[in-house]
Each structure stands twice: as C-alpha cells, then as structure tokens.
Amino acid sequence: MAKEGVEKAEETEQMIEKEAGKEPAEGGGGGSHRLGDAQEMRAVVLAGFGGLNKLRVTRKAMPEPQDGELKIRVKACGLNFIDLMVRQGNIDNPPKTPLVPGFECSGIVEALGDSVKGYEIGDRVMAFVNYNAWAEVVCTPVEFVYKIPDDMSFSEAAAFPMNFVTAYMMLFEVANLREGMSVLVHSAGGGVGQAVAQLCSTIPNVTVFGTASSFKHEAIKDSMTHLFDRNADYVQEVKRISAEGVDIVLDCLCGDNTGKGLSLLKPLGTYILYGSSNMVTGETKSFFSFAKSWWQVEKVNPIKLYEENKVIAGFSLLNLLFKQGRAGLIRGVVDKLIGLYNQKKIKPVVDSLWALEEVKEAMQRIHDRGNIGKLILDVEKAPTPLMANDSTETSEAGEEEEDHEGDGENKERMPFIQ
C-alpha cells in the first residue's frame, strides 16, 4: 500500500506535468486515465514472441507500489539489444507473454511503498526494472533505484544504468583494468562500447581496440585508439599493432569471435562474453542462426587455459541483479559512476529519441546496427504524423492483426537525433 494520500499524489502529478511543460489536467495526471476507480497508463506490450508486429502500445492498469517499492512516473526508457532478443524469445527461460518489455528507465518518484526510506516524492531517479520498464508508470524495489544528478537529463539517465554498469563491472571487477593495459571491444559504436571507451580513458595509458561498422568510424574514431571494420580480419590487424595481443577482450557477438578473442589474449589476459548478438540475423528467432553460432564457438579446454595462463569469463548484469542478489554491489558501482559523471569524465551517448508508438522503428535501428550510442524511448514524445496509426492500441492480450506484406514500405520515421 502507498503511504501517500490522494491529495499528495495529485499534487505530485501536477508537479510532473508542470515540469513537462503541460497544464495540469483536471483531476489528475496528463498521462493517466481513469476507468471507474482504476487508473490506466500507456505501455508497450509484447503479445507473443516473434517479429515487430508482436509489439503494440496499449492501456494497462497502473501499478501501485508494494512494500519496499517505489512508484516512478517514467520520463524515458533505455532500449538494449537484449530487448530485441527478448522479443524474439531468443533467451533462456523466456517469461510468459503478454508482457511489457524493458529493463531500465528514468523518471520522478510518485509514491512510496511501506518501509521505503531515503527517497521522497518528486525525487529524480533512474532504475533497473525486471521487465515492465516501457510504460508511463513502473514500480520497482528500492534497491534498484538511484538518484540522478541535477544536471543529468532524463534521456541521459535512461542511457546510464545498463551500459555504464556493465562496462564498469567487466573492466574493473572482472578483468581488473590497470594502467598500461589494452582492451578489444566489439560493437564499439553501441552504448556499451562507448561506455567502455570512456571508462578506459579514466585510466592512464590504456590502448583501446574497437570493431564497428565502417559508416560509424568517423563518428567514434576519437574514442578509440585503433578502429577496425567489423567485417575485416581484426585478429591480424590487432597483432600487426600488438604482436603479443591484448589484455582484455569484451565480446557481445559470440560465435567464431570467441575463438578469435581467446587467440588474441596475452598471458594473464581475460576474455569476457556478455552477449550473443550473432544469433540474431532475421526479424524472428532463427534455429539455423542459433545452431551456427553455437557450432562456431570454440570448445574451451581447461588444460589449454591453464597452460596459456588465460582467463575466460561471462557477465550478465540482469542475472547479477535479479537472480543472484548483488544489488548492494551494483549500488556501489553506480555511486562511483555518478562520481565520474559529476567530474565530467563520462557522459552517456544518446543516439536518438523515439515515442513509445515508434518502438518498432527503434528496434529495427538496433537490429540494423545503425545506432551510435543508446536509443531512448521518450514517454512524452509524440509520434511523427506519418506513422501515428501504425502501433494502434489493442487489448492486453495483443489481439492485433498481422502486418500485411508491403505495409512497411513507406513507414520509416525520422527520430529525434541528439
């Protein structure tokens, strides 16, 4: 049950609307509607696993905070490659559909559940959410919520948790990055890749090798020491520059890149797998792509690792948070990262802003590897008129019509590019 009364909640809704530049709505918040006594909100719903046509914006009952939870009026949500894999059902033990996707968001605290301390209504926060982030309102346990600096925008805050915590944990907690070391990072133009580059720049004399699509090179060349095309023979390119290899390999691709990464490690080097984007080739889950990627993974021989003094590791931030109970460790990391942000040493790179109704186009941009930095769903952004009717509202069960062949030919939206 929420502690705060109706009057306080309405006062908060008016404050939120005022900050958004809107006139307070009669009797409540501008983003919520009432049916009888129940308040509703807009949310992106995944009706079933598959293609983009499984996503719709619809109305759902607004959640209320339980004991130990905060209720957040969402301003912005992060969009990650894992969300694309969730949509396809391309993950271990996928949840049941229909569901609201999304694992991170930023916004304003609207209500406090019982026993919550350290936060007040009106606080600006960012949060991890175990699904359900792509909505106007979320509730999440207090241990996954962090206050944001006054000069950090909501879009930056939504781009911050997943990317920077993942990069920091891999570099400093798993691989023990130190002065003079070298790092190879794949998908260098993505959100994690750019976070890795920025964090490496906080340590003296770190060499960063990156792979990325060639059209991204001009935009990100200053963040990398050496940059290679993602389709080139980067193993030979790296060895031409550093014959001994590198100290750390950060791999979000998997497949044959696993063996290549291990071959590039120096003695006492660390290879970290934190994704498997090579398994995603088409709009829907492909058994062939999965099997090919699995088959290409070099089978690890522990004796060979012992003989070559190499370390192989994996990292999943979501599992660490939601399954393995390491929220306290992550809070310490977030505190350090906010300190670096306040010192102007790191800053989230936001690729573009999209309305909730434009989630299909945003996901396609990630699938095409077209982004430089993070894609953000801006809850208050209006969709472009060209596509306003594309993500029509449906029932929560997602009883939408299949997209007809050719429907997508003239449906490209132009996002707000930062």
* Confidence check: pLDDT of 315 > 80: yes
* Confidence check: pLDDT of 409 > 50: no
Question: What domain range includes position 303?
Answer: 162-336
For residue 304, being part of any structural domain is answered with yes
For residue 405, being part of any structural domain is answered with no
Render pLDDT for 159-213 as a digit per residue (tens, 0 to 9): 999 999 999 999 999 999 999 999 999 999 999 999 999 999 999 999 999 999 9
Report the pLDDT averaged over residues 134-162. Answer: 98
For residue 282, the model assigns a pLDDT of 54
Report the pLDDT averaged over residues 23-27. Answer: 37
Q: Which of 73, 149, 77, 155 shows the shortest CA–CA distance to 111?
A: 73
Q: What is the mean pLDDT of the chain?
A: 84
For residue 347, being part of any structural domain is answered with no
For residue 94, the model assigns a pLDDT of 86
The domain total for the chain is 1
For residues 289 and 279, give the distance between their C-alpha atoms in angstroms, rounded to a whole number. 5
For residue 315, being part of any structural domain is answered with yes
* Confidence check: pLDDT of 400 > 50: no
For residue 175, being part of any structural domain is answered with yes
Distances (CA, A) of 30 to 13, 18, 27, 331: 8, 10, 9, 32
For residue 390, being part of any structural domain is answered with no
- What's CA 167's distance to the chain center, in Å? 12
Q: What is the DSSP string of 209-271?
A: EEEE-GGGHHHHGGG-SEEEETTS-HHHHHHHH-TT-EEEEEESS-TTHHHHHHHHEEEEEEE
Question: Hey, which bits of 160-206 come out as E strands?
Answer: 182-185
Would you state the structure tokens that stand for residue 100, as one six-digit string?
A: 């609201």
Q: Residue 274 belongs to a domain with what CATH number?
A: 3.40.50.720
Render pLDDT for 333-353 as a digit per residue (tens, 0 to 9): 999 999 999 999 999 999 999
Least confident residue range of 83-97, 119-133, 263-277, 399-413: 399-413
For residues 220 and 202, give the distance between their C-alpha atoms in angstroms, rounded to a whole number. 17
Query: Could you tell me the pLDDT band of residue 37, with boundaries at 50, 70 and 90?
Result: low
Angle, helix 234-241 to helix 257-264, in steps of 10 degrees: 10
For residue 295, the model assigns a pLDDT of 46
For residue 301, being part of any structural domain is answered with yes
Q: Which of 187, 398, 355, 185 shows the shortest CA–CA distance to 272?
A: 185
For residue 383, being part of any structural domain is answered with no
